[in-house]
């Protein structure tokens, strides 16, 4: 299934993308795509519904982030060898973990704001993993059973804030609108192998990133298992699993986003995001 959230900011409703590409309203079935609605049992009940009986959503509504009430927004750094090389950083011995503030989360096609004083706002297409049940000390072998589904994340980053303003990377990762998620949450039964997904990102029609999840240093199952050794993972937690090469910081000369730029990014089977870059108010 392709699940989504639609409507104005802060008032999104849960929905489902039907076989013809139309949005069906799920708000009479579940209050939101969050918490227990992401469990295997809840998702199975949605699968059993006759989709044609669900209200059809007219027009072209705004899409919100495809998961609501995110408790943790966890990111994995330097998880593609070529990206680590272009960043001038060594490939890690175990997953590099950092967090984005949940206030960075926005819809997949919402405008991206360049923060005040920013000089190096960058892009990163990433595979997002949404946890579906409480997960703690899970083995690699069982880790994927804890996934509700997969989605696209643009892990936007301000490199000057991230690397030159002291402290952790969180400063450069958590600005408002730096976490577009969606357009939809694709349930795990539709993704046979999360390590075989092509991914790309373009700015103004120029393709900068063109990669595949098959080149991850630590695969999705390993990442989930590793995280669960240090913290419990809860339904609705989002894990952004790293980016392939081609970020702005790795260009020669370095290239960064500016107001008016158009970003498009996609992952096979997970849809496409499109954002316009604007200056922060």
- 82 has pLDDT over 90: no
DSSP H stretches of helix in the chain: 40-47, 81-86, 140-143, 159-164, 170-173, 220-228
Cβ atoms of 196 and 214 closer than 8 Å: yes
Query: Phi-psi bin for 117: left (phi > 0), alpha (psi -120 to 50), beta?
Result: left
- 106 has pLDDT over 80: yes
Q: What is the DSSP string of 93-139?
A: SS-EEEE--GGGEE-TTSPEEEPTT-S-EE--EEEEEEE-S-BSS--
Question: Where does the pLDDT of residue 23 fall: very low under 50, low under 70, confident under 90, or very high at 90 and above?
Answer: very high
The secondary structure element, H or E, covering residue 147 is strand 147-154
What domains lie within the chain, and their CATH numbers? 2-53 (no CATH), 73-279 (3.90.850.10)
DSSP single-letter state for residue 62: P
- Tens of pLDDT along 123-174? 999 999 999 999 999 999 999 999 999 999 999 999 999 988 887 889 999 9
Per the omega criterion (within 30 degrees of 0), is the bond before 183 cis? yes
264 forms beta bridges with 202, 274
């Amino acid at each position: 299934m392709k699940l989504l959230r639609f409507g104005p900011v802060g008032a999104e409703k849960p929905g489902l993308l039907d076989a013809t590409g139309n949005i069906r309203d799920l708000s009479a079935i579940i209050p939101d795509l969050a918490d227990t609605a992401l469990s295997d049992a809840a998702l199975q009940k949605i699968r059993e519904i006759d989709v044609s009986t669900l209200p059809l959503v007219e027009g072209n509504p705004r899409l919100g982030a495809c998961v609501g009430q995110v408790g943790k927004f966890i990111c994995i750094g330097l998880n593609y060898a070529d990206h680590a090389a272009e960043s001038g950083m060594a490939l890690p011995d175990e997953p590099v973990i950092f967090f984005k503030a949940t206030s960075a989360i926005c819809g997949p096609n919402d405008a991206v704001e360049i923060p005040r004083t920013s000089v190096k706002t960058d892009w990163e297409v990433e595979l997002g993993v949404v946890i579906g049940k409480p997960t703690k000390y899970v083995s690699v072998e069982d880790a994927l059973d804890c996934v509700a589904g997969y989605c696209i994340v643009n892990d936007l980053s301000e490199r000057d804030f991230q690397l030159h303003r002291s402290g952790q990377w969180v400063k450069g990762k958590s600005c408002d609108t730096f976490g577009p998620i969606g357009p939809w949450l694709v349930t795990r039964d539709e993704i046979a192998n999360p390590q075989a997904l092509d991914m790309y990102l373009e700015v103004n029609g120029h393709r900068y990133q063109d990669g595949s999840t098959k080149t991850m240093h630590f695969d999705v199952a390993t990442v989930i298992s590793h995280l669960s050794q240090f913290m419990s993972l809860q339904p609705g937690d989002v894990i952004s699993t790293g980016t392939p090469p081609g970020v702005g910081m790795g260009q020669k000369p370095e290239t960064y986003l500016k107001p008016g730029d158009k970003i498009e990014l996609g992952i096979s089977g997970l849809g496409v995001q499109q954002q316009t870059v604007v200056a922060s108010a």
